[in-house]
Structure 1
Amino acid sequence: MSKYETIRFEQSGGIARITLNRPEAANGINHVLGHELAEIAGLIADDPAVKVVILTGEGKFFSAGGDLKAMAANESKAGAYVKGLADDLHRALSSFARMDALLIIGVNGVAAGAGFSLAVTGDLVVAADTASFTMAYTRAGLSPDGGASYYLPRLIGLRRTQELMLTNRSLSAAEALDWGLLHRVVPAAELATAVDELAAQFAAGPKLSNANVKKLLLVSSDHTLEEQLAREAAFISHCADSADGQEGIAAFLGKRTPKFA
């Protein structure tokens, strides 16, 4: 069970669950939450027992992004304070992106600013039909962080990214799904169940295969075709030599359900 101040953290059966837990502050990211999220992400990334990570929020907000009240309270050193917040958040994002475990994000409500940035970094993103998404940075005289300038152009293209970042347009969950920011939208009352079912599915799956999918996609736009083909060949060979690979092949040929480690 959680030992943290602003996050609930639980781990069981290969599944780790992180819940942003500052509902009284719209799950805004202050220095404590940012530090705790970075710490948890690093621990999970180093834990071979974890196959799936669930990230969601408590209350009506997924996250309203950086805590502007905390920024205002540090007005005399706002730049340094915000840099610290961004650095912690970015450490967490890097750990999530490069860990072998899959990250499933359940967007339970409003995702704004860094909350929006964080929401779309999942390997699978499921949103409640009541969720909404807005960048909101320039409205507060700020510029994006949380990987938004990396992920959004790749997910939805430059023009739509420009519109979101410069106009602060708000998207409903249905619109975000249509734009390609999400994988699935479900009724709000069914979000936890939908996320848990996905997590259980992947917890029973082959960790190395899923990790290799993440790694291949993360670098695909940076490689030439031949470089990516070489990476694919090395990865599939590694999978074939693994216990899960041998079990998967045997199960497929034997027309039975595989039992992965």
Structure 2
Amino acid sequence: MTASEQPLVSVADGVLRIAVSTAAAGTSLNFEAVSAGTDAVKNSGSEVGAVLLVGTGANFCAGGNVMAFAAAEDRTTYVRDAADTLHEFVAALESVGVPVVAGVHGWAAGAGMSLVCHADIAIGSRSTKFRPAYPALGFTPDGGMSWALPRIVGPRRARDILLSDTVLGGEEAHRLGLLTRLVGDDVVVSEAERVARSLAAGPAETIGATKRLLAQSDTNSLAEQLEAEAVSISTLAGSPTGREGVDAFVEKRRPDFPR
């Protein structure tokens, strides 16, 4: 089965795979996948250890479907409904207790760039390109880009990128932190799949607890974060996950972490 023949949303090897765009409609954001992906993320159980975002056409995601915007009888209502649907998906990704991995090939523009900003690990290549794309339409950002981008690249650089509609190549995106790993052009998606499977096979309780600590660090003082870390590590030390990790280390064997 080729990538384009796979379901928009599927689970295999502990990875919840969501194809956020397809070749149809010029690799614009696929709202069928977004809606189904939201439900799948919200209802994921212990069988899901990672979420993988990919595109199945020439690009990761070229942004919203501008032709659909133009054809809408009431553009205000149409775009508001589209933004609400996307934002429900973003909120689900931000709150999920497992890693979110993005395989970013080709363009990540508009909403596609926003989605990459919410991935824990974003894998691309030197030919990957980012563009906010909103100013060209006379729009402002959605998908949480105005919240996430300043946290990744810093507030002043985010202003420059968003206000001037800057195009970023893969190397610059990697330097700024939009991409966390650079690989060859032809292995972006396969490497993202490999990383997602590896994470899904890891200690789920530990990964979830680490994500919670990282989320708290945005608003915690150092003293509050130190206390949160102390509570978390000591709790895990007495858990089946922590016990298995320590015992496996002492016994010089591969740990068999509980799911």
TM-score w.r.t. length of structure 2: 0.91
Aligned equivalents of 2:64, 2:214: Cα separation in 1: 28
Q: Is the 8 A contact 1:7 1:21 kept in 2?
A: no
Matched, 1:108 2:116: no
Tell me: CA distance 1:50–1:257, structure 2 relative to 1, closer, same or farther (3 Å).
same
Aligned partner of 1:50 in structure 2 is 48
Aligned equivalents of 1:104, 1:138: Cα separation in 2: 27
Q: Is the 8 A contact 1:135 1:169 kept in 2?
A: yes
Aligned equivalents of 1:141, 1:105: Cα separation in 2: 28
Aligned partner of 1:123 in structure 2 is 120
* 1:6, distance to aligned residue in structure 2 (A): 11
Aligned equivalents of 1:135, 1:182: Cα separation in 2: 15
* 1:96, distance to aligned residue in structure 2 (A): 1.3
Tell me: CA distance 1:105–1:54, structure 2 relative to 1, closer, same or farther (3 Å).
same
Aligned partner of 1:154 in structure 2 is 151
Give SS of 2:217's match: helix
- Aligned runs of 1:86-97 on 2, under 5 Å? 86-97=83-94
* 1:58, distance to aligned residue in structure 2 (A): 0.8
Q: Is the 8 A contact 2:21 2:61 kept in 1?
A: no
Aligned equivalents of 1:133, 1:27: Cα separation in 2: 14
Aligned sequence identity (%): 35
- Aligned runs of 1:121-200 on 2, under 5 Å? 121-200=118-197
Q: Which moves more between the two structures, 58-67 or 32-41?
A: 32-41
* 1:207, distance to aligned residue in structure 2 (A): 0.7
Aligned partner of 2:63 in structure 1 is 65
Tell me: CA distance 1:258–1:33, structure 2 relative to 1, closer, same or farther (3 Å).
closer
Q: Is the 8 A contact 1:239 1:245 kept in 2?
A: yes
* 1:137, distance to aligned residue in structure 2 (A): 0.7
Aligned equivalents of 1:200, 1:118: Cα separation in 2: 20
Aligned equivalents of 1:78, 1:38: Cα separation in 2: 24
Structure 2: any 5+ residue segments left out of the alignment? none
Deviations 1:137-170 (A, max 9, x none): 1111111111111111111101110111011110
The one-letter amino acid paired with 2:40 is: I
The one-letter amino acid paired with 1:243 is: P
Q: Is the 8 A contact 1:7 1:20 kept in 2?
A: no
Tell me: CA distance 1:6–1:219, structure 2 relative to 1, closer, same or farther (3 Å).
farther
Which of 208, 213, 217 is the equivalent residue of 1:211?
208
Deviations 1:213-233 (A, max 9, x none): 111112212122222222222
Aligned partner of 1:22 in structure 2 is 22
Q: Is the 8 A contact 2:60 2:107 kept in 1?
A: yes
TM-score w.r.t. length of structure 1: 0.90
Q: Is the 8 A contact 2:21 2:29 kept in 1?
A: no
Deviations 1:169-214 (A, max 9, x none): 1011111001121111111211233122212321221011111111
| RMSD of equivalent CA atoms | 2.0
Q: Is the 8 A contact 1:244 1:260 kept in 2?
A: yes
Aligned equivalents of 1:199, 1:32: Cα separation in 2: 23
* 1:21, distance to aligned residue in structure 2 (A): 4.0
